[in-house]
């Protein structure tokens, strides 16, 4: 790819992750005791931006935070990891928040209150036109409105940037958006939502390439070069929160550097494995030195 100012432009969500660890999740009407509340910077978009930046990527971000205290916290967290936040807009009202419970095996359950993320618009995308021309890869997710996601994919296509689209949380999307994905990134649940359990079936939906993430079992990649299974290093999982975002952020960065999709996915699997060894989302994302043993 020609040299650009940014490796990755992320258009997406910024959340404050409010995390409690529990021995077991409560049944309906039941109360259980958990750990002390921990607050981390998160949101699928911000997570992917930080993951790429921690690895050495030149990253810009387009999104919204609120006028509450969480907005300042989230803005400072992105800035602290070297993400360009010139197009992180402050909008009246609350910032996005994710309520997360983490079980004894490191698995998580998440409820997201979108807040300012729900106010990202097509106009925000249009106003940031030069950002798209300056980026090699544009990374998208579904924690901001679909109209904004589709506008961003169109802007990326028009600027010659590669679109990495993580269909999470799963939602109905137009065929036009799927056709712009290179790759479409989904986990097994999201693949099933699209009506396919294998990458070839997903390719039939229209994306140019596909990555299905499988947690501890790695990933499956499909593109014009065929289907490739990508293993994941075996690690002891402490907290899986944000691991998929770490994978996608790393994938986007390596694609921006010119890696083939399967090679980028191999690297991303190492990054995702490193992330589950530490509690939290962004707090768990590795730097290059953290990957040397994987």
pLDDT, tens digit (0-9, with 9 covering 90-100), for 10-49: 999 999 989 899 999 889 999 999 999 989 899 999 999 9
Q: In the chain, which residues have pLDDT < 50? A: 1
Per-residue pLDDT of 204-237, as tens digits, reads: 999 999 999 999 999 999 998 899 999 998 898 8
Q: How far is CA 112 from CA 19, 158, 261, in A?
A: 12, 32, 30
Counted residue by residue, the chain has a size of: 294
Q: Which pLDDT does position 1 carry in this prediction? A: 47
Of 174, 268, 156, whose CA–CA distance to 212 is shortest?
A: 268
Q: Which pLDDT does position 87 carry in this prediction? A: 96
| Tokens encoding 118 | 């729900």
Active-site annotation holds for 245: yes
Q: Which pLDDT does position 112 carry in this prediction? A: 87
**pTM for this prediction:** 0.92
In the chain, % of residues over pLDDT 90: 83
Of 138, 13, 123, 20, whose CA–CA distance to 74 is shortest?
A: 13
Token pair 């099933």 in the structure block, residue:
192
The catalytic residue among 7, 81, 84, 245 is 245
Q: How far is CA 279 from CA 39, 83, 163, 233, 287, in A?
A: 11, 22, 30, 18, 15
Give the integer Cα–Cα distance in Å for 84 and 218. 30
């Amino acid at each position: 790819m020609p040299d650009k100012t940014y490796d990755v432009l992320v258009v997406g969500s910024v959340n404050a992750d409010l995390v409690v660890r529990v021995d077991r999740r409560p049944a309906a009407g039941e109360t259980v005791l958990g750990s002390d509340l921990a607050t981390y910077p998160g949101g699928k978009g911000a997570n992917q931006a930080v993951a790429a930046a921690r690895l050495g990527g030149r990253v810009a971000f387009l999104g919204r935070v609120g006028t509450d205290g969480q907005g300042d916290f989230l803005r400072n967290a992105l800035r602290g990891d070297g993400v360009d936040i010139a197009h992180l807009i402050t909008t009246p009202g609350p910032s996005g928040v994710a309520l997360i419970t983490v079980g004894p095996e490191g698995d998580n359950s998440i409820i997201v209150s979108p807040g300012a993320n729900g106010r990202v618009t097509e106009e925000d995308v249009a106003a940031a036109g030069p950002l798209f021309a300056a980026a090699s890869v544009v990374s998208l997710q579904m924690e901001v409105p679909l109209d904004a996601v589709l506008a961003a994919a169109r802007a990326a296509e028009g600027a010659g940037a590669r679109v990495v689209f993580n269909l999470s949380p799963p939602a109905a999307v137009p065929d036009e958006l799927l056709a712009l994905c290179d790759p479409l990134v989904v986990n097994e649940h999201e693949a099933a939502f699209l009506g396919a359990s294998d990458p070839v079936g997903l390719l039939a939906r229209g994306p140019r390439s596909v990555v299905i993430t499988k947690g501890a079992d790695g990933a499956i990649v499909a593109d014009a070069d065929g289907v490739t299974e990508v293993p994941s290093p075996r690690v002891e999982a402490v907290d899986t929160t944000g691991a998929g975002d770490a994978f996608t952020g790393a994938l986007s960065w390596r694609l921006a550097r010119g890696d083939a999709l399967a090679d980028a996915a191999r690297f991303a699997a190492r990054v995702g494995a490193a992330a589950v060894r530490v509690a939290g989302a962004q707090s768990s994302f590795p730097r290059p030195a953290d990957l040397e043993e994987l």
